[in-house]
Amino acid sequence: MYKQDVIVVGAGVAGLSFAIQLAKIRPECSIAVLAKAQLDFSNTYFAQGGIATVTNLKTDSFEDHIADTLKSGAGLSSPAIVETVVKSGPQRIHDLVEYGVEFNYQKNGDFDLALEGGHSKPRVVHSFDHTGANVQKALLETAKSLPNISFYEFRFSIELLQTEANEVKGVTVLNLQTNEIEIFESKLLVLATGGSGQIYKNTTNPSVATGDGIAMGIKVGAMTSHLNFVQFHPTALYQKNTSRLDLLTEAIRGFGAYVVNHLGKRFLLETETRGELATRDIVSLAIFKELEKSGRKCVYLDCRHLDKDEFKKTFPQITANLISKNLNFETDLIPIVPAAHYQCGGLTVNEKSQTNIKCLYAIGEVADTGLHGENRLASNSLLEGLVFGHDTAEWIAGIIDEINPVSVKNEGNLRFSTENDAIFQKTILEIKTIMSSNATIAATAATLEMAAVQLAVINNYLATLQADNVVSEMSLIVTNLLLNAQAIVNEKLLHINKNSATKVVENESFSTLVLK
């Protein structure tokens, strides 16, 4: 058994930002960071574009960034949360510079700012075309330098541990290297587990993005909201037989690339005056409709007219990746397809990142903070993780002494076995097929109802296999994917059939005084 003051499940931008800030403020506080794989394998690592931040008040303004975010969220974002995040951006960028992140600068010393879809002005601070990897590296190095942070890799979190008063006081995990069940106890727990893109066949998310935090939260009664709003990135590199599609950053379209069909036509302009610079939901839906109309597997990104030297300089990693796949942006149309990219909703939290379950917090993509609403504005996700990681640490630093450690009775009835893994792997593919066919942003009430029935059949079948509390990596993945898939389909059906999407009002769902 491991005992710490605070457990953080997840080692991406949100989890690491939180751990660093809390460790700096409260050096006597012990913090455990649990990672499902190696520490640098997260959605953060694969984020290419950058961080949307107002860095030059002469050419941009907080008001414009706020307006762009609210417009993208289609009335479902919290104005107060949006204002807080946007106005906190410059200081969080300053933190990253201090941690060693090397951003791109202009010759005059100002940040080199990229223009991305949905933004009225260039404001995306970036580190070439691999910002996420550089941010992850700097945060990890900083966190490892702090003696009160302990890291535990290859720990697959199974279930949250609660007291009789329903306070979360720890988590059971499967050690993927030893196949042992381990128990971690704490005063409180912070979920920073990322999203659930792996429920779809086409996703930009890595294999670890199986909705673990959402699933664990649902199991203990945590509220969820806006799970129906799964953002599809419109420009993922079309590839066959892979669990993660390579992302082609939004910034390429901001750089001037065109989206065309197999005839070379820029079809986006038929329904959207902004064309390639429309928000991701609009561009992705237009591509889905074009594919349905044409019967083709993909559309294309046309970069052939762009400045070749500047493209290579701005997007070196993407250029190299294309070459490795025998694609040349100078002469070839680049095949693209929309792919599940970001979970706009999540576990419902207030402005302190508290869920409705005592001692359970959620930050980053796993949380519905009130920032994104119906559609996340490009490059607002790393910003959200940085801001809520920092601010939640500030809050917890002030209340951690008031929370007493309580040992949680654990029956210890879980056992490891891979006896049904072949069945689980097959079922995972079935879930992906159902969601990809019937529950994308192009879904209808009819397709969603079909998905709900199909998922219910899988649920009943899995219940017969998992009744004896057997766990394995595959059993946990299939369970979590199914829980997320059912939650997403149910919320999509509610949204379509009843038009019941609720506008967020200041995210004051619960009292910060009660839920510590």
Give me the domains of the chain, ranges plus CATH numbers.
Answer: 2-228+344-402 (3.50.50.60), 233-340 (3.90.700.10), 415-498 (1.20.58.100)
Which residues of the chain fall short of a pLDDT of 70? 411-412, 467, 498-516
* Burial class for 265, CB neighbours closer than 10 Å (0-12, 13-18, 19+): middle
* Burial class for 173, CB neighbours closer than 10 Å (0-12, 13-18, 19+): buried
pLDDT of residue 412: 65
pLDDT of residue 30: 98
Q: Quote the CA–CA distance of 230 and 375 in Å, as a whole number.
A: 8
Dihedral sign of CA atoms 353, 356, 359, 364 in order: negative
pLDDT of residue 417: 93
- To the query of whether residue 415 is one of the catalytic residues in this protein, the response is no
- Cβ(191)–Cβ(212) below 8 Å: no
Per the prediction, the chain carries an average pLDDT of 93
* 3-state secondary structure at position 290: helix
pLDDT of residue 515: 43
pLDDT of residue 48: 86
Residue 360: both structure tokens together: 């359970």
Strand partners, 188: 6
pLDDT of residue 469: 82
- Give the DSSP letter of residue 446: H
What does the angle CA 464 – CA 468 – CA 472 come to, to the nearest 5 degrees?
A: 95
CA dihedral 474, 478, 480, 486 (to 10 degrees): 180
pLDDT of residue 139: 98
The residue from 123, 280, 296, 415 that is catalytic is 280
- Cβ(23)–Cβ(400) below 8 Å: no
Q: Quote the CA–CA distance of 384 and 408 in Å, as a whole number.
A: 32
pTM equals: 0.92
pLDDT of residue 507: 41
Q: Quote the CA–CA distance of 369 and 225 in Å, as a whole number.
A: 10
Give first-to-last CA distance, the chain, whole Å.
Answer: 24
Backbone angles phi, psi at 432, to 5 degrees: -60, -40
Which among 345, 361, 343 is positioned nearest to 222, based on CA atoms? 361
Longest Cα separation, the chain: 66
pLDDT of residue 513: 32
